[in-house]
Structure 1
Amino acid sequence: MKRQLILEDGTVFLGEAFGSDEEKFGEVVFNTGMTGYQEILSDPSYCWQIVTLTYPLIGNYGINRDDFETITPFINGFVVKEYCDYPSNWRSEYTIDEYFKMKNIPGIAGIDTRKLTRIIRMHGTLKGAICSADANPEEVIKKLKDTEFPRNQVQVVSTKTPYPSPGRGPRIVLVDYGMKHGILREFNKRNCDIIVVPHSVTAKEVLQLKPDGIMLSNGPGDPKDVPEAIEMIKGIIGKIPFFGICLGHQLFALACGADTEKMKFGHRGSNHPVKELSTGKVDITSQNHSYTVTVESIKNTELEITHVALNDGTIEGLKHKHAPAFSVQYHPEASPGPEDANGLFDQFLDMIEVNKKEGVL
């Protein structure tokens, strides 16, 4: 069965349908990772986006029960060069086609994903629609141009109620803005006592939980669309050690008076080199974000740049000059991707221990 991918700039791709038959709209983005399609499709940071994978062979090791980053995927579509009908892996339980039918996600294959990626790199991310082969492109393009996508992604993907993940180590309040399970796994491996809380948690509610540290998770969308999170962070800076990842990094910057802006096409993949300024060490990192903290806005804040992206010079890490708080734009938990930066979780726990011993907080 044939299917169309239609972009708001008028570009039309005709390909093969897989997954759900439902028509869906979304921001079309691309990911350059060569493996990890299951983690990508289940990453809440892709909420309502149509994800293009630049690696041409997708689905060849199937879908298994263990590699999900959330229980319910939030993506609005998958675009691939070729998907595999007969995966070969001992853990495989479904084909990607079967799984997408179960979760009502449309996919399109057999198109020139290299051409699509070049269009996005040239023009920036574009609105797009995955629709049937009979859909009128002119009508779809008009609808795309007239449509304003909702901006409440964090509210959609965040947990609605707090829940524990018990351990015997330091108590960490993990604020869920669209948390990948990989973050929770890293703290569980370190025997931390975790309480996962909704995005709307207040500083007062956080302090009542008596945490040793706070983790600000990744998540989708524009950080300025989550003002309640910015106010919460302002209320805890200097009171509790904390660590932010991705959206959590951007919210930390905004709470400290810095600014963010949307990137042309963002960073998405598992091969992004990042340099730590204090040591010169370079890590290959996993990334997924559309927004970045602007360099100029850091100057009049209490923040210091700790990491930069070698590809484009954008900010990849920050720390507070006085309070025990730091953040990174990339994903040290990987999933998928390299684990070069995994030690940041240990650095965070060391920070907590130092503050306990010195009685700073």
Structure 2
Amino acid sequence: MDKQKPSRHFLAMTPNAIRTVEILAYPAVQLLDVTGPLQVFASANDFMAKAGEAPPYEIRIVAPGGRSVDSSSGMTIVTHPLPPMEAGLDTLVIAGGEGVDAAVADTVLVDWVRERAKLARRTASVCTGSFLLAASGLLDGRRAATHWAFCAELARRFPAVRVESDPIFVREGSVWTSAGVTAGIDLALALVEEDLGRNVALAVARYLVVFLKRPGGQAQFSEVLSLQAAEDRFGALHEWIRKHLAGDLSLPVLAEQACMSERSFSRRYAEATGLTPARSIERLRVEEARRLLSETRLPVKRISQRCGFGSEETMRRSFVRLLAATPQDYRARFST
């Protein structure tokens, strides 16, 4: 356990006022959407208390009706009733989850979110909590993030929102939105960094064993998952591609390997993965290159050749596009 205390040179950045943080829950809320940010703020309190400073956050989980709500995982969360509008507030966090559609249909709750946010210094959503913010009008004309699987739906239902599918979180003025589930931890760390400085946020991230700023965006996860979802139909082909990354992976070769015509293969593959064969090959090459960068000492040039990129520059462009990091940066972060 890391018991390092913060040095006095950045404790001076901490105002004495306690910041009230309200995390909104509701029936069938995603548990981690609530407890992830909660633990970040609580760990910041613990860290500052060990330094002899007053805890900076007063954290409450609030819900319609109060007392408790059952999360989508079945665990019951003890909650407080929705506070009156005149109650002081610094940060309002809206969790997401399976119950968000019912929450959006609750006009009283949507009105409460809209009015409560007016009193908050900043408002944030985690995962599909963005739908509740959008229903309240708080995201109109703003950039916003949500879970990668719901970006298209958010854009369709709320066309005034400028949905971005890749960022882990987005800040637009006083409104913050994050991607799916664990991204709420990234967002909460950013809020702590804004309040208490980078050193405190870094200490909290180290204690929780997470990145202060994780590399890349959520697209890298959704793209890999889309290939996994097609394993029942194209799993054997993907395994063959992994063994022949440096070979001829042209469309005619792939179609022959899949025992289909080129036209039929292209159509069925896109239906199963949402990607063209060329884009999938790029992702499989990046996946193998990531493994070699982290597990071996092979030169980057040799890795680019083994993975079929042809050149270091081609591999670098693929890494930047998919992971927002160069191969050298990736190796520096993850090499064992």
Larger relative strand fraction: 1
TM-score (norm 1): 0.26
Q: Which has the larger radius of gyration?
A: 2
Greater helix proportion: 2
TM-score by length of 2: 0.28
Q: Larger RCO: Structure 1 or Structure 2 (Cα < 8 Å, ≥ 6 residues apart)?
A: 1
